[in-house]
């Protein structure tokens, strides 16, 4: 447990150092570029403080988080199910894996025009794009982990009369959990990028992506850099505070 705490502190310290270095590089660039192209870090932080006092900021943040939660959650559930089924059914495993590998090579944002035509403007096309971004790495990681489950465990469960559903719940799912957690963290990065990109393109209502796109349209570079800062810090917080905490709780036996 001590090693786990030390590892967590080291990881958080690394993120703090990385953010400090990025801010320093930003400030150095601001010294050499005109103010209208690159604002100083204190100017952007002052704008951020002003945004934090605005109800509009929290409305956009809430919209983005709800879209992320719906799309990411749907991707995890469907990815786990498909990964377990594909990993346990030899007849479809190779074809299913090949299909996943092919489809995940398509950038999530490329699906936006199609879904806008099919679903119209609204939350649904953004949520679906987010789900697609997170689905493939989740399904592939679960499928790969399912294939590597110890054969002796499978044979023992069958000898004890376990049904297919019990095999999935008692043998496969516990075995794939470590790979699933890793895949879920990778999937979050994909989902986050898909969310911001889709909101920038669709932009029908308040959201982090729309705010960034609007700042760019009116050449408000302070707004652009402030929005980029918010997007980057939020991603780091979600990954390190929420996902890492879930990871340590689910895999706590590995950190003893």
Helix axes 173-202, 123-147, angle to 10 degrees: 150
Check residue 53 and report its DSSP letter. Answer: T
pTM: 0.81
Where residue 122 sits, what CATH number does that domain have? 1.10.3720.10
**C-alpha angle 164-76-183 in degrees, rounded to nearest 5:** 95
Q: How confident is the model at residue 192 (pLDDT cuts 50, 70, 90)?
A: very high
Helix axes 2-32, 221-237, angle to 10 degrees: 170
Write out the two tokens for 19: 């953010």
pLDDT at 66: 92
pLDDT at 256: 42
Closest CA to 193 of 115, 120, 137: 137
Digit-coded pLDDT (tens) for 34-86: 888 888 889 999 999 998 898 988 998 999 999 999 999 999 999 888 887 77
Write out the two tokens for 152: 């002796």
Q: Which residue has the higher pLDDT, 110 or 250?
A: 110
> Residues 173, 192: contact at Cβ < 8 Å?
no
Per-residue pLDDT at 160 exceeds 80 = no
Domain count, the chain: 1
Rounding to the nearest 10 degrees, give the CA dihedral for residues 71, 87, 165, 175.
-90
Average pLDDT score over residue span 171-190: 78
d(Cα 36, Cα 138) in Å, to the nearest integer?
42
Write out the two tokens for 89: 């059914």
pLDDT at 168: 64
Closest CA to 138 of 88, 82, 85: 82
pLDDT at 162: 61
d(Cα 41, Cα 37) in Å, to the nearest integer?
13
Residue 240's H or E segment, with its range, is: none
Q: Burial-class residue 15 by CB neighbours within 10 Å (0-12, 13-18, 19+).
A: middle
Q: How many CB atoms lie within 10 A of CB 171?
A: 20
Give the domain range for residue 29. Answer: 2-255
> Residues 136, 194: contact at Cβ < 8 Å?
no
Q: Tell me phi and psi for residue 191, to 5 degrees.
A: -65, -40
d(Cα 96, Cα 34) in Å, to the nearest integer?
52
Average pLDDT score over residue span 231-240: 86
Average pLDDT score over residue span 217-227: 89
Closest CA to 174 of 135, 145, 152: 145
Closest CA to 46 of 222, 213, 221: 222
Digit-coded pLDDT (tens) for 109-156: 888 888 888 887 778 889 999 999 999 888 888 888 777 665 655 666
pLDDT at 255: 43
Closest CA to 122 of 66, 75, 78: 66
């Amino acid at each position: 447990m001590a090693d786990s705490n030390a590892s967590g502190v080291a990881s958080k310290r690394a993120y703090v150092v990385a953010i400090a270095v990025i801010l320093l590089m930003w400030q150095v660039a601001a010294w050499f570029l005109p103010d209208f192209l690159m604002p100083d870090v204190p100017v952007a932080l002052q704008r951020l403080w002003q945004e934090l006092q605005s109800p509009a900021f929290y409305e956009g943040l809430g919209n983005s988080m709800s879209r992320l939660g719906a799309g990411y959650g749907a991707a995890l559930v469907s990815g786990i199910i498909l990964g377990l089924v594909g990993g346990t059914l030899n007849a479809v495993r190779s074809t299913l894996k090949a299909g996943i590998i092919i489809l995940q090579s398509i950038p999530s944002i490329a699906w936006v025009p199609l879904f806008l035509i099919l679903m119209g403007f609204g939350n649904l096309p953004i949520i679906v794009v987010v789900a697609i971004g997170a689905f493939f790495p989740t399904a592939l990681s679960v499928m790969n982990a399912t294939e590597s489950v110890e054969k002796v465990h499978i044979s023992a469960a069958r000898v004890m009369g376990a049904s297919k559903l019990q095999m999935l719940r008692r043998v496969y799912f516990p075995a794939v959990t470590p790979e699933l957690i890793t895949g879920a963290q990778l999937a979050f990065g994909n989902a986050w990028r898909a969310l911001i990109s889709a909101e920038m393109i669709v932009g029908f209502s308040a959201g982090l992506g729309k705010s960034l796109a609007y700042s760019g349209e009116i050449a408000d570079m302070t707004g652009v850099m402030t929005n980029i800062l918010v997007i980057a810090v939020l991603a780091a917080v979600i990954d390190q505070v929420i996902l890492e905490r879930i990871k340590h709780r689910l895999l706590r036996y590995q950190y003893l």
